[in-house]
Chains A and B, each alone.
Chain A
C-alpha cells in the first residue's frame, strides 16, 4: 500500500520536471509559454462557473431531498433480481452525480460495516471503477457550449451499470 501511494506522489513532480527539461532542451521560452497556457486555462475555468453552479445546486437538492432513497425503493425488484445490496445501488447512483458525496458515503459504509466487510469491499470497488458521469458530461459539454449531447448520456449510464454488475460479481468471486 505504501508503495502505491509513494508511486503516485513521485509521478506528478517527475512529469512536471520532464516537461520543463524537454522544453529547455528545445529552446522553448518556458515561462512565457507557461503563462500563455495558464491564461487560456483561466479563461476556460471562468466559462465553467455557471455550469458548476447549476450542477452543484441541482445535485444538492436531489441528494438532500431523499430522492435517491425513493429511486432505490422504486428499483427494489431489480435489486432482488440481481442480488445487489441497496447500499451499493444507492452509492452507484450518487457516484454518477458527485465525487465528494460518493467518497463520504463510502467512508460512512466503512464506519458502519468495516472496510474489510463484503459491503466495504464492494463500496471500494464501485467507487474506484466509475466516475461522476453526469457531472463530467455537463461540465465538458458545457465548456464548449454543446447543447445536443446525442447519445452520450445513455452510453455513460450503461457503462456505470456494467461496473455495478461487474463489481458485485468480482467481489463475491474474489472474497468468498
Chain B
C-alpha cells in the first residue's frame, strides 16, 4: 500500500509536469482534503448507526442464527476462522449489503469484520489469509441490484435502463470467481515462500 500511495502522488505530480498542468495540483489537494473530511463525517453517522443496529442483532442472537445457516459455505471459503466466531456474521452482513447495492451500509460491517479478524491475527501488522480472501470477494463485488447505475441510466434518458442487469451479473460473477481462484493460488504460493 505504501508503494501505491507513493506511486499515486509522485506519478501524479510527474504527469502534471509532463502535461504542463501543475497549476491544477494545489487546488486539488485542498479540495480533496476537504472532501475526505466531509466524507469522514458522513461516514461517522452511517457507521455509528449501522454498528448500533448490528449490536442489537448480535445481542439478540440473530447474527448467530444467520451465520449458522451459511456456515458450510464460509468454512470452505475461510477455513482459518473458528466455528461460531463473530467475524463470520460481520462478513456475511457486509457481503449481503454489497450484493443488494447498499455501498454505504456495507462499509460498517466490513470494518467490523476486519476488527474481528484482527483479533485472530498472531502478527498484527501483517494481513491474514482470511482477510485477503474477504477483501478479494469484497473488492470484486457481487452486485444483484445496482440501483445507482440503473437510476443514472434512467436519468440519462435510456429506453431500457435495466437491460444491463444480465451483463453486470455475468461480469461480476466472472470477476468474483477470478478473485476466489487467484486468492487461492496466491495463498498456496505465499505459504511456500514463507516456509523457505
Contact of B56 among A37, A133, A156, A167 (CB under 8 A): A37
Let me know if A60 is at the binding interface, CB within 8 A.
yes
Task: For the complex, count residues of A whose C-beta is within 8 A of B.
Answer: 107
Q: How distant is the Cα of A59 from the Cα of B146 in the complex, in angstroms?
A: 24
Q: How distant is the Cα of A53 from the Cα of B98 in the complex, in angstroms?
A: 24
Q: How distant is the Cα of A4 from the Cα of B161 in the complex, in angstroms?
A: 11
* B145 near A151: Cβ-Cβ < 8 Å: no
Task: For the complex, count residues of B whose C-beta is within 8 A of A.
Answer: 112
Let me know if A75 is at the binding interface, CB within 8 A.
no
Let me know if A86 is at the binding interface, CB within 8 A.
no
Residues 138-176 of chain A: 1 if any B CB is under 8 Å from the residue's CB, otherwise 0?
A: 111111111111111111101110110111001100110
Q: How distant is the Cα of A139 from the Cα of B5 in the complex, in angstroms?
A: 12
CB-defined contacts of A12 to chain B, threshold 8 Å: 102, 105
* B56 near A8: Cβ-Cβ < 8 Å: no
Let me know if B70 is at the binding interface, CB within 8 A.
no
Q: How distant is the Cα of A165 from the Cα of B98 in the complex, in angstroms?
A: 22
A151 CB to nearest chain B CB (Å):
4
Let me know if A33 is at the binding interface, CB within 8 A.
yes
Contact of B145 among A4, A142, A171 (CB under 8 A): A4
Interface centre among B12, B154, B155 (most CB of A within 10 A): B12
Interface positions of A from 74 to 131, Cβ below 8 Å from B = 97, 99, 103, 106-107, 110-111, 114-116, 120-121, 124-131
CB-defined contacts of A65 to chain B, threshold 8 Å: 11-16, 19, 21, 24-25
Residue in A closest to B141 when the chains form the complex, CB atoms = A131
CB-defined contacts of B32 to chain A, threshold 8 Å: 56-57, 59-61
Q: How distant is the Cα of A143 from the Cα of B150 in the complex, in angstroms?
A: 32
CB-defined contacts of B124 to chain A, threshold 8 Å: 144-146
Main secondary structure of the interface of B (DSSP, over half): helix
Q: How distant is the Cα of A64 from the Cα of B176 in the complex, in angstroms?
A: 30
A89 CB to nearest chain B CB (Å):
15
* B126 near A148: Cβ-Cβ < 8 Å: yes
CB-defined contacts of A28 to chain B, threshold 8 Å: 56, 59-60
* B167 near A167: Cβ-Cβ < 8 Å: yes
* B28 near A64: Cβ-Cβ < 8 Å: yes
* A158 near B178: Cβ-Cβ < 8 Å: yes
B126 CB to nearest chain A CB (Å):
4
Known: A26-B60, A48-B111, A53-B33. A1 touches B154 (CB 8 A): yes
* B111 near A116: Cβ-Cβ < 8 Å: no
| Interchain residue pairs A-B with the least CB separation, the first 9 | A37-B55, A60-B32, A41-B51, A163-B175, A67-B15, A56-B36, A129-B171, A110-B156, A65-B16
Question: Could you pull out 12 A-B pairs where Cβ atoms are within 8 angstroms?
Answer: A62-B9, A64-B24, A65-B24, A115-B161, A116-B159, A128-B149, A149-B132, A153-B1, A155-B179, A156-B179, A160-B140, A165-B174
